[in-house]
Chains A and B, each alone.
Chain A
Amino acid sequence: MNGIVVVGLFDAVDPAAAAARALRALPLPEGDVTTLSPMPLPDGAVCTDPRGIGFPRVTLVGWFVGALAGLSLALGTYLLYPLITGGKAIISVPPTLIITYEVAMLGALAGTVIAGFREMGLCRFRTRLIHDPRIQEGKILLCARVSGDEEAKRAMEAMKSAGGIDVRPEEGEL
């Protein structure tokens, strides 16, 4: 069941910021007010993002998982199946370090991709997402997630009085 989101187009940052202030005074929680913009706006210019960013931890986890995989490849397989060449030891430390390091970086990369994409909310193809292609003309779409018609009406009024164009309720997710 998709939620109701009130959206409004704004021409410039200042009116959008004023509208956002009014919305937060309604009151609406900070996490429910956000913008869609063609380029990133500084945090706090119009709205803020109270949720912490957690996926860098997965990068670290990915690094260690990759390191373990690399170690198993370079060290583990040789311990299991030893083969003598050139008078050198079965377990060679420098090549093991090299392979471990490379696969560790691959693991960190994979971790960042997977966790980062998830936390950004990409690849949600089956959800109906709020979007307006007119932001590419340089406009900001201010979005407010509301619960109920009463709140929706007050949000629409706040946006209209701050100078919003085409203020309307939409069904979808932020």
Chain B
Amino acid sequence: MEIKWAMAIDLDRCTGCGACVVACVAENNIPVVGEAEVEKGRLMQWIRVARYWEGEHPEAQAVYLPVPCMQCERAPCETVCPVYATYHNEDGLNAMVYNRCVGTRYCGNNCPYSVRVFNWFDHKWEKPLDEQLSPDLTTRSRGVMEKCTFCIQRIRRAKETAAAEGREIRDGEAVPACVQTCPPGALLFGNVADPHSEIARKLKDPRRFRLMEHLGTEPRVVYLKRLKGAGR
């Protein structure tokens, strides 16, 4: 069966708690850069919860928008990398090759969603924090771009398990850390090519929209609009 991974983010359910961010940092060996570096704009988060304000004080309301990598079908980051450090794999994911990256940062500039982060320094995990690192993926050296991969290590693990058992991968087996963690269940992940998957059904929702669609990047992350009404 063809695999086309996609993610659905239900903005009606998102509370802006940021658990997805923490889960992602824990799962993907993302370094904590410290307050000083964050002031300089070097925060390393593969998924960010963007907060916008609607209205003026005292009626101002916060709107939360979790922004992972959109895994664009027509990714602008892929064409501009001079060394092919980022490419499109068969599952429809925008894959990153850390070893190949020379750090021109053109891909980071070309991403309209600004989801790509750069390793401005080498990062150390002091003992015993180094024991929390996941063995399924590397830690990146300085000078390398990185971004959300839809937890490709979990996808691979699920595919390997399914192949070992001689069957296809089932819906719900490959779950990125953010999707797994989200308390209100705002994030959903799955294979849209599978007509019976939960995400295929969820994406029939008329509230669906994609971020910055006019740019023609064809993102794989679909948002479901927050509806306003009594009690919201």
A and B, direct touch (CB closer than 8 Å): yes
Name the interface size band of chain B: 10 to 19
Tell me whether B74 and A86 are in contact (CB under 8 A): yes
Tell me whether A88 and B79 are in contact (CB under 8 A): yes
A83 to B78, CA, bound (A): 11
Contacts of A83 in B (CB 8 A): 84, 87
- Contacting A at CB under 8 A, from B142-163, are none
Q: Is B194 in the interface zone, CB < 8 Å from A?
A: no
Contacts of A84 in B (CB 8 A): 87-88
Q: Is B37 in the interface zone, CB < 8 Å from A?
A: no
A-B contact pairs, 14 of them (CB 8 A): A83-B84, A84-B87, A84-B88, A85-B78, A85-B79, A85-B86, A85-B88, A86-B72, A86-B76, A86-B78, A86-B79, A86-B88, A87-B73, A88-B74
A85 to B81, CA, bound (A): 10
- Contacting A at CB under 8 A, from B68-90, are 72-79, 81, 84, 86-88
Question: A residues near B, CB below 8 A?
Answer: 83-88
Tell me whether A86 and B84 are in contact (CB under 8 A): no
Q: A85 CB to closest chain B CB, in angstroms? A: 4
Contacts of A88 in B (CB 8 A): 74, 79
Q: B218 CB to closest chain A CB, in angstroms? A: 7
Chain A residue at minimal CB-CB distance from B216: A87
Majority DSSP secondary structure for residues of A touching B: loop
Top 7 A-B pairs, shortest CB-CB distance: A86-B78, A87-B74, A85-B78, A86-B79, A86-B75, A85-B87, A87-B73
Interface core residue of B73, B77, B81, B88 (most chain A CB under 10 Å): B88
A88 to B81, CA, bound (A): 13
A114 to B84, CA, bound (A): 36
Q: A81 CB to closest chain B CB, in angstroms? A: 11
Contacts of B73 in A (CB 8 A): 87
A86 to B86, CA, bound (A): 9
Contacts of A87 in B (CB 8 A): 73-75, 88, 218
A149 to B80, CA, bound (A): 73
Tell me whether A85 and B218 are in contact (CB under 8 A): no
Contacts of B75 in A (CB 8 A): 85-87
Q: Interface digits, B49-75 against A, CB 8 Å rule (1 contact, 0 not)?
A: 000000000000000000000001111
A166 to B74, CA, bound (A): 80
A83 to B87, CA, bound (A): 8
Contacts of B81 in A (CB 8 A): 85
Chain B residue at minimal CB-CB distance from A88: B79
Chain B residue at minimal CB-CB distance from A92: B79
A63 to B77, CA, bound (A): 34
8 more contacts with CB within 8 A, not counting A84-B87, A85-B75, are: A83-B87, A85-B78, A85-B79, A86-B75, A86-B78, A87-B74, A87-B75, A87-B218
Contacts of B86 in A (CB 8 A): 85
Contacts of B88 in A (CB 8 A): 84-87
A135 to B59, CA, bound (A): 92
Q: B95 CB to closest chain A CB, in angstroms? A: 10
A64 to B72, CA, bound (A): 40
A84 to B75, CA, bound (A): 11
A6 to B72, CA, bound (A): 79
Q: B89 CB to closest chain A CB, in angstroms? A: 9
Q: A73 CB to closest chain B CB, in angstroms? A: 14
